[in-house]
């Protein structure tokens, strides 16, 4: 990561108990704050021990710091939701994870088509930039 960019990571964890949907791990990456910056939000449904989920997390983090493209993703907030902490998420996504969704301005979620585990970081960054540039 270059000195021009700052990264903040906030982790919210409640071990030793089952938790509500509000229990998530949030990774926030942002460009030096400007008055006109609007936060783009992605949600990754995952669970511990999921190797596909771990691989996608690594590629997403790399895509967020990739500066060589015209649409950098430094202002994206990624929420990682553990499906085992919420029965509704587990029922909906237990056979589908990793599931990546875009949070719209009205609070609804739009599921992003699955990336191949073989997709490169450049490809993921380009596709995410296109999805996040859409109107809500």
CA trace torsion 41, 46, 48, 50 (10° rounding)? -130
Q: What pTM does this model have?
A: 0.68
The pLDDT of residue 67 is 62
Cα distances (Å, whole numbers) of residue 38 to 30, 33, 116, 122, 131 = 10, 10, 29, 23, 15
Q: Which domains does the chain have, with CATH numbers?
A: 24-133 (3.40.30.10)
The pLDDT-based confidence of 135 (bands split at 50, 70, 90) is: low
- Residue 79 is predicted with a pLDDT of 93
Q: What is the tens place of the pLDDT at every residue in 32-72? A: 333 334 678 899 999 999 999 999 999 998 888 876 656 66
Secondary structure letter of residue 69 according to DSSP: S
């Amino acid at each position: 990561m270059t000195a021009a960019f700052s990264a903040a990571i906030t982790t919210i964890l409640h071990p030793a108990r089952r938790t509500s949907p509000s229990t998530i791990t949030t990774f926030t990456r942002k460009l030096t704050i400007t008055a006109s910056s609007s936060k783009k939000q992605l949600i990754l449904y995952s669970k511990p021990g999921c190797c596909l989920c771990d691989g996608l997390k690594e590629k997403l983090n790399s895509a967020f710091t990739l500066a060589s493209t015209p649409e950098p993703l430094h202002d994206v907030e990624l929420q990682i939701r553990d499906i085992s902490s919420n029965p509704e998420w587990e029922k909906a996504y237990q056979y589908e994870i990793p599931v990546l969704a875009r949070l719209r301005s009205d609070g609804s979620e739009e599921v992003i088509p699955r990336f191949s585990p073989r997709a490169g970081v450049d490809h993921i960054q380009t596709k995410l930039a296109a999805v996040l540039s859409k109107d809500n």
